[in-house]
């Protein structure tokens, strides 16, 4: 069975070395030495300041909304993982959907502008598949209407835009360190705040509202434990190799499909972290046919992101979100992880190409002639 993704497990002996430190310190959580070290190393590696570690990427969003005082309604994208919307709803904020851009699949700034109405206090875009949004335009709109911008950057670990971390954009950007993500701590996440005072407010929020031993407001428990931080430190030791391997897998797919498949158009000036390999099919039936062939060969890609979130019923859209619905019905993420063996990848590619060769409407039938990738 070939899954869409496989969690990366760093070298066990290194993990044990970090765990030994937890035993020596006898401190298991509450911003211990390993969490402090991970914060510092991540800030340096990513090129950011005011990074707050939290227990997962969903809490990262919820805490960011709280720390920034987001209430009422927020404009967000229907093309994402459910947590982007459900975190708003959970915080009592009404998600209002604006449609996505047909090229990037990210929230469209122009449609966001049109969707602004009384009660809207924030915009929550997503850097989908790690592809940066039109951050400059969102910045402008936010200034004009006095709105907060929180980027769900769960996919954008390490991505740079014009040589600077994309996480520097917005009042806050949130990361997920879930086991399936490019960089992980088993479960975990982080928030990068633009302003130190927001970061400090969030420090208190994730620790029951405590500030210098006194409860100063309503808080929650969203702390990262030392054992999770240990996994993060190991991952960080190996992250350059992990990204290099992902890049190799990505490039092999890219060359095999030889420009014949549709993919999201990448932001100019942005780097990639090779988190996903999304293929946009010309029709839902072409997707389903290809998926069926892959499943028969025990290969399990994932319809990521499907369905369009506006169909789930916990948000509202004044505008039609036709682009999101159309793309969501036609996009398939194929297996993509750093330890994907070459022969398995060849099998995935040949299964896809031979299924198109046998006739899938709109898919290239000529790829077989070219011969597959050379090992
Ligand atoms: C993974 C993910 C999340 C949620 O992160 P968790 O750490 O699993 O809670 C939120 N948004 C997006 C876009 C994601 O892909």
Distance separating alpha carbons of residues 368 and 356, to the nearest angstrom: 9
Kindly report the average pLDDT of the chain as a whole number. 95
Give the mean model confidence (pLDDT) for residues 15-23: 98
Distance separating alpha carbons of residues 74 and 115, to the nearest angstrom: 10
Share of the chain above pLDDT 70, in %: 98
pLDDT digits (tens, 9 = 90+) for 92-118: 999 999 999 999 999 999 999 999 999
* Domain definitions of the chain by residue range: 12-234, 239-369
Cβ atoms within 10 Å, residue 362: 11
Architecture in CATH of 239-369: Alpha-Beta Complex (3.90)
As for ligand 1, residues whose beta carbon falls within 6 Å of it are: 56-58, 80-81, 83-84, 126, 152, 154-155, 176, 178, 189
How much distance in Å is there from the Cα of 258 to the middle of ligand 1? 31
Architecture in CATH of 12-234: 3-Layer(aba) Sandwich (3.40)
How much distance in Å is there from the Cα of 24 to the middle of ligand 1? 33
Classify 199 as helix, strand or coil.
helix
Q: Best substitution site from 83, 150, 173, 181 to test ligand 1's pocket, by max atoms within 8 Å of Cβ?
A: 83
Q: Which of ligand 1's atoms lies nearest the C-alpha of 56?
A: 7
How much distance in Å is there from the Cα of 365 to the middle of ligand 1? 36
pLDDT score recorded for residue 115: 97
Q: Which of ligand 1's atoms lies nearest the C-alpha of 83?
A: 10
pLDDT score recorded for residue 373: 43
**pLDDT of 255 strictly over 80:** yes
Q: Best substitution site from 5, 54, 57, 181 to test ligand 1's pocket, by max atoms within 8 Å of Cβ?
A: 57
**pLDDT of 254 strictly over 70:** yes
How much distance in Å is there from the Cα of 154 to the middle of ligand 1? 6
Lowest mean pLDDT among 153-167, 183-197, 352-366: 352-366
Distance separating alpha carbons of residues 230 and 178, to the nearest angstrom: 14
pLDDT digits (tens, 9 = 90+) for 278-320: 999 999 999 999 999 999 999 999 999 999 999 999 899 988 9
More confident position, 318 or 68:
68
Crossing angle of the two packed helices 226-257 and 33-46, in degrees rounded to 10: 30
pLDDT score recorded for residue 359: 74
How much distance in Å is there from the Cα of 60 to the middle of ligand 1? 9
Longest dimension (CA), the chain: 71
Name the residue at shortest CA distance from atom 6 of ligand 1: 57
Distances (CA, A) of 235 to 4, 11, 19, 48: 20, 9, 14, 18
How much distance in Å is there from the Cα of 81 to the middle of ligand 1? 7
pLDDT digits (tens, 9 = 90+) for 41-55: 999 999 999 999 999
DSSP string of 39-59? HHHHHHHHT-SSEEEES-HHH
Give the mean model confidence (pLDDT) for residues 136-146: 98
At 367, the pLDDT band (50, 70, 90 cuts) reads confident
Torsion of CA 285, 290, 291, 292, to 10 degrees: 90
């Amino acid at each position: 069975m070939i899954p869409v993704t496989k969690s990366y497990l760093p070298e066990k002996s290194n993990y044990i070395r970090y765990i030994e430190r937890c035993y020596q310190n006898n401190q298991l959580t509450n911003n211990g030495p390993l969490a402090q070290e991970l914060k510092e190393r991540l800030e340096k590696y990513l090129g950011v300041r005011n990074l707050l570690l939290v227990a997962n990427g969903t809490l990262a969003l919820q805490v960011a909304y709280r720390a920034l005082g987001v209430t009422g309604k927020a404009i967000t994208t229907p093309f994402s993982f459910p947590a982007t919307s459900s975190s708003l709803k959970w915080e009592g904020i009404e998600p209002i959907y604006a449609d996505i851009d047909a090229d990037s699949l990210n929230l469209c700034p122009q449609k966001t502008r049109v969707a602004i109405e009384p009660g809207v206090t924030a915009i929550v875009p997503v850097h989908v598949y790690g592809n940066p949004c039109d951050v400059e335009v969102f910045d402008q709109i936010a200034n004009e209407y006095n709105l907060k911008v929180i980027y769900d950057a769960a996919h954008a670990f390490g991505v740079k835009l014009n040589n600077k971390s994309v996480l520097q954009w917005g009042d806050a950007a949130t990361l997920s360190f879930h086991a399936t993500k490019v960089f992980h701590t088993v479960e975990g996440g982080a928030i990068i705040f633009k302003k130190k005072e927001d970061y400090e407010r969030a420090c208190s929020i994730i620790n029951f509202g405590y500030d210098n031993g006194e409860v100063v407001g309503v808080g929650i428990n969203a702390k990262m434990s030392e054992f999770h931080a240990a996994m993060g430190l190991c991952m960080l030791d190996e992250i350059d190799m992990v990204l290099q391997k992902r890049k190799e897998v990505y490039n092999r797919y890219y060359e095999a499909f030889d420009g014949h498949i549709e993919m999201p158009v990448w932001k100019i000036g942005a780097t990639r972290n090779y988190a996903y390999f999304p293929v946009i099919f010309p029709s839902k039936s072409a997707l389903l046919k290809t998926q069926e062939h892959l499943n028969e060969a025990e290969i399990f890609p994932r319809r990521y992101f499907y369905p369009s979130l506006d169909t789930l019923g916990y948000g509202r859209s004044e505008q039609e979100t036709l682009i999101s619905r159309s793309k969501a019905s036609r996009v398939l993420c194929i297996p993509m992880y750093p330890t994907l063996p070459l022969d398995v990848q060849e099998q995935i590619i040949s299964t896809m190409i031979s299924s198109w060769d046998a006739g899938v409407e709109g898919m290239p039938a000529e790829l077989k002639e070219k011969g597959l990738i050379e090992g």
